[in-house]
Amino acid sequence: MIDIKEIISMLPHRYPFLLVDKVTAITPKESITAIKNVTINEEFFQGHFPNDPVMPGVLIVESIAQAAALLAIKSFDLVDHSVYFMSIDSAKFRKIVRPGDTLVHKVKFLKVRGSVYKFAAESFVDDVLACEAEITAMVPPKSSDK
């Protein structure tokens, strides 16, 4: 398990853009299960949509990407490196995500080629598939990070 303090030490994201609350399972170089607790206090609900709050799909994908970054960081000792989201393929949104929901991201490595990492992900709410996607990320050499 990885708690929020360790997540903050690994990812550069901060409120309101830190979208992973904890990791419940991780098998380095294989998979990760991460949690995002969705609350009405999220800033995006002020405008999406005031009378019908729905978590934007792009933020579900961002939350998945952060979980994938944690998997890469833990798998390849990349704590002092940045993991950059490169692409998303085959994204499908199957269920509306609302305040009070808990998103459970299950992310698996598909392949690693050099500094490029490809992942398959599924996100669930109450064991119902909410989103599925394949994402690609890269880790540039340390000298070009920033």
Give the active site residues.
48
CB 24 within 8 A of CB 33: yes
Q: How many residues does the chain have?
A: 146
E-state strands within 52-127: 84-93, 102-113, 116-125
CB 39 within 8 A of CB 100: yes
In angstroms, the CA 68 to CA 73 distance is 9
